[in-house]
Amino acid sequence: MLLKRPLLLHPAVKPLAHALCALPLLGLVAALLTQGLGANPAEALIRGLGDWGLRGLLLTLAITPLRVTFHQPALLRLRRLLGLWSFAYVALHLTAYAWFDQGLVLQDIVRDVLKRPFILVGMLAFLLMLPLALTSVNAAVRALGGRRWQALHRLVYGVAALGCLHFWWMRSAKNNLADPFFYAALLALLLGWRLWHRWRQR
């Protein structure tokens, strides 16, 4: 086994996971305050938050394959935590865009969203992610019922696909597709594993 069960069940695991998830945010804020984000700090902050949102989302989707492959059921306790941190980064990404890029002017935001397809796709991803975050608490699971809750949270794959498309279109303008290709390939691998696992179960 890759990890020992007692280690994953240790009370310090979740606080440590929270701390690790917060590190990129703290690093971006520190770089912003110390003028370490380059010539265009607002753009660097917006893109940095978006990058970590997508990374966290893909890591969240990787929890089940890792749990099944390495027989580590305790990994499941980290999935909700990672998902909520991913949502936090995406929400901050959107907030930073609305604030620094559009000055919190609603008309300008709407005009920009409708004008640029990659921003529209990113906005759709956020809107799909919102109900997943709102129903992440145990009370929502009980209210919806396990089957309906699981069906709703399968939207996370659509969110990840839209996130990858958003990233791809944004980078394609600068002909810099190495990172978007890597994330898209990783998502395809995770989707392929899920389809294979469901077929194997049947």
Q: What is the pLDDT of residues 15-61, one digit of tens each?
A: 999 999 999 999 999 999 999 998 899 999 999 999 999 999 999 99
Q: Over 70: is that where the pLDDT of 200 sits? A: yes
Beta carbons within 8 Å of 67's beta carbon, 6+ residues apart: 73, 75, 76
Query: Helix or strand or coil: residue 44?
Result: helix
Sign of the alpha-carbon dihedral angle for 185, 98, 101, 42:
negative
Provide the pLDDT for residue 7. 81
118: which 2 tokens? 């990659």
Q: Over 90: is that where the pLDDT of 105 sits? A: yes
User: What gap in Å lies between CA 137 and CA 140, rounded to an integer?
Assistant: 6
pLDDT > 70 fraction of the chain, expressed in percent and rounded: 97
Helices (H), 34-104: 41-69, 79-96
